[in-house]
Chain A
């Protein structure tokens, strides 16, 4: 992974000093609450329902074991012993004291981490495929490009006070596991017919109140021009994005208002001035960054299909886990393993300090000392030897990471919701738990197969409910918490937005509602048809009829 040089380290250390002084001035009354607010937000510090919440940046989800141990230390020393993996691959601490944050940042800086631009109206953490660099279907490793974008976007002087937050995602594989089409900018690394590398550029995707799938405005941007083109897009947005209404301030509204074609023309008109200037990327820089992402020293191994099949036969639990929680690796004899952070009874994505320490040890012993956070709120050991898989499974079970539910209905994406977040209209964690308890039969879960169930506690959509095959949105009805259900969303390459089923439901009914929806699928599916396929074939009506029939 990327390792800071003296320049990167200096910038992060200068930032710690700057934020320490900003905090001091706030506490001394030199900065008003209103003046301090954007400053703390650009450092990922929210004032939440009970305490501040600090979001630590995990660039494109990648962490070293030393960094994971630092998460454990911060959870222990400054928080209540746990933290939360966010839907944008970051790590959130729910209970730090505002006064302690400068010290936390100083600790983070010792392991090349920070909280820069993890909130606020600026360019946020760039996200990517959790299987980057190891996926069999990868064409181009997105990580060097994410790091180049990270450096460009860090304290960009022209784009620190945008109309609204700005999120960039990069994909380099055949499948899109980074959900690029629902980002402000989505970049797909591609090769042209001449074998040259470039990017397909999508703009104006996003969730929130006005969910929109992005529009591709450039089919092939040669890699040399990535930064100048991003500068051009951001300049058009910074100047012309709406600032009169925060709900209409995302770039998607500007793109829609202008039309993608006109927006693209504006970007090109800006870009002609910037193209081939000093921000043009050099082969030397790309090589410098890419050198941090070369393959680790893989052994020459063979795939262990027969041995693993024998273990499967002997240990059905292992077979089930292997089926759901492992992912094919590009190197023979290796496999990527997802640690499920979704056991029933634990808030989705929560990790304790002891678990962080355990993950760091596992990473050191099984996976070259690195892990990845996924936007599905799980943690991945990307480079595990197949021959060690059975032993690893045993260790994961001891630590509570072996729930065999990755990609299944109970692998729920869920925002912190009303239990923690002051924006939320409703709780989300108890809904997740109720559904997990209802679907406690593993055979049934396996039979149902892949379902993305996403829960957001409000229309800000941190739980990505619009792109869940089943989406749940917490709403407030006259002071009561209700839940709106939608179906048919997808964050993948065939990105689509979910359709609202109908009137919302009370908390107590939610497990029943999901149960009925799943039953319609099970009854109506053809062989090998996934939930999403069935929904796309039969439409929303059969689900509607079943779910609302009971009310009459």
Chain B
């Protein structure tokens, strides 16, 4: 079983991530599922009627505005990085936390590597499913790499210039 980083700790993965082309056929009623955005848009009523937990995932080109008024339905919003060099979802995570007030889990999925985690944490991700060939224990060190930051973001509402002693 994959382990993910959640709130700075390693935990066993309990969610099942459905692929982008998933359909409603054979979806279990009780499992905790993270469904692709397209499936949610097509079948939100059916998905809401299930007993299991519900999350949604967005690919890099998909916009959070599409579900901004439906966020209450999701315990998890997962944002996919097709490549770690694709930074689009750092803006999405920021918007989720700061513009849309989302309090549930915001999870980084896809090409998620240690050296991006510090900035991901800053913008509002609190869960990280590291790429499977990487050691999540090693990646935990990323959170301690910087002890001070200049900008305001989700983790630090005040820029350094408002905090300098």
Contact with A along B94-129 (1 / 0, CB 8 A): 100001000000000000010110111011000000
Instruction: Assess whether B84 is interfacial by the CB under 8 Å rule.
Output: yes
Q: Considering the chains assembled together, what is the distance between the CA atoms of A157 and B149 in angstroms?
A: 9
**Contacting pair B119 A160 (CB below 8 A):** yes
Q: Which chain A residues lie closer than 8 Å to B158 at the CB level?
A: 278
- Stretch from B49-57, B69-77, B85-93 forming part of the interface with A: B85-93
**Contacting pair B123 A238 (CB below 8 A):** no
**Contacting pair B148 A10 (CB below 8 A):** yes
Q: Which chain A residues lie closer than 8 Å to B151 at the CB level?
A: 152, 155-157, 279
Q: Is the interface of B mostly helix, strand, loop or mixed?
A: loop
Q: Considering the chains assembled together, what is the distance between the CA atoms of A7 and B159 in angstroms?
A: 12
**Contacting pair A273 B99 (CB below 8 A):** yes
Instruction: Assess whether A151 is interfacial by the CB under 8 Å rule.
Output: yes
**Contacting pair A158 B115 (CB below 8 A):** no
**Contacting pair A151 B160 (CB below 8 A):** yes
Q: Considering the chains assembled together, what is the distance between the CA atoms of A5 and B164 in angstroms?
A: 9
- Stretch from A11-19, A93-101, A405-413 forming part of the interface with B: A11-19
**Contacting pair A7 B113 (CB below 8 A):** no
**Contacting pair B145 A158 (CB below 8 A):** no
Q: Which chain B residues lie closer than 8 Å to A14 at the CB level?
A: 145-148
Contact with B along A139-175 (1 / 0, CB 8 A): 0000000000001101111111110000000000000
**Contacting pair B150 A151 (CB below 8 A):** yes
Interface residues contributed by chain B, number (CB under 8 Å):
37
By beta carbon, the residue of chain A nearest B154 is A157
- Please tell me which one of the listed residues A157, A281, A282, A288 contacts residue B122 in the complex, with CB atoms under 8 A apart: A157
**Contacting pair A11 B162 (CB below 8 A):** no
**Contacting pair A158 B148 (CB below 8 A):** no
Instruction: Assess whether B26 is interfacial by the CB under 8 Å rule.
Output: no
Q: Which chain A residues lie closer than 8 Å to B91 at the CB level?
A: 158, 235, 238-239
- Please tell me which one of the listed residues A17, A238, A279 contacts residue B159 in the complex, with CB atoms under 8 A apart: A279
**B149: shortest Cβ distance to chain A, in Å?**
7
Q: Considering the chains assembled together, what is the distance between the CA atoms of A161 and B92 in angstroms?
A: 13
Q: Which chain A residues lie closer than 8 Å to B122 at the CB level?
A: 157
How many A-B contacts if CB must be within 8 Å?
101
Q: Considering the chains assembled together, what is the distance between the CA atoms of A156 and B91 in angstroms?
A: 11
**Contacting pair A159 B150 (CB below 8 A):** no
- Please tell me which one of the listed residues B60, B99, B149 contacts residue A155 in the complex, with CB atoms under 8 A apart: B149
By beta carbon, the residue of chain B nearest A22 is B115
Instruction: Assess whether A35 is interfacial by the CB under 8 Å rule.
Output: yes
Q: Which chain B residues lie closer than 8 Å to A282 at the CB level?
A: 161-162
Q: Beyond A11-B150, A238-B90, A239-B91, is A121–B85 a contact (Cβ under 8 Å)?
A: yes
**Contacting pair A7 B153 (CB below 8 A):** no
Q: Which chain B residues lie closer than 8 Å to A238 at the CB level?
A: 87-88, 90-91
Among A7, A235, A281, find the residue whose CB has the most chain B CB atoms closer than 10 A: A7
Q: Considering the chains assembled together, what is the distance between the CA atoms of A319 and B85 in angstroms?
A: 54
**A74: shortest Cβ distance to chain B, in Å?**
24
By beta carbon, the residue of chain A nearest B150 is A151
Instruction: Assess whether A387 is interfacial by the CB under 8 Å rule.
Output: no
**Contacting pair A161 B164 (CB below 8 A):** no
Instruction: Assess whether B24 is interfacial by the CB under 8 Å rule.
Output: no
Q: Which chain B residues lie closer than 8 Å to A227 at the CB level?
A: 159
**B79: shortest Cβ distance to chain A, in Å?**
12
- Please tell me which one of the listed residues B86, B90, B138 contacts residue A157 in the complex, with CB atoms under 8 A apart: B90
Q: Considering the chains assembled together, what is the distance between the CA atoms of A281 and B16 in angstroms?
A: 45
Q: Which chain B residues lie closer than 8 Å to A155 at the CB level?
A: 119, 146, 149-151
Instruction: Assess whether A285 is interfacial by the CB under 8 Å rule.
Output: yes
12 new A-B contacts, CB < 8 A, other than A157-B90, A157-B118, are: A14-B145, A15-B146, A30-B138, A151-B150, A155-B119, A157-B120, A158-B153, A238-B87, A238-B90, A243-B60, A282-B161, A285-B162
> Please, could you name 23 A-B residue pairs with CB atoms under 8 Å apart, sorted by A?
A10-B147, A14-B147, A15-B146, A18-B146, A151-B161, A152-B151, A155-B146, A155-B150, A157-B123, A157-B151, A158-B91, A158-B119, A160-B87, A160-B90, A161-B90, A238-B91, A243-B88, A278-B157, A278-B158, A278-B159, A278-B162, A281-B161, A285-B162
Chain A to chain B: the 7 pairs with minimum beta-carbon distance, closest first: A161-B87, A157-B122, A157-B119, A285-B161, A151-B150, A158-B90, A18-B145
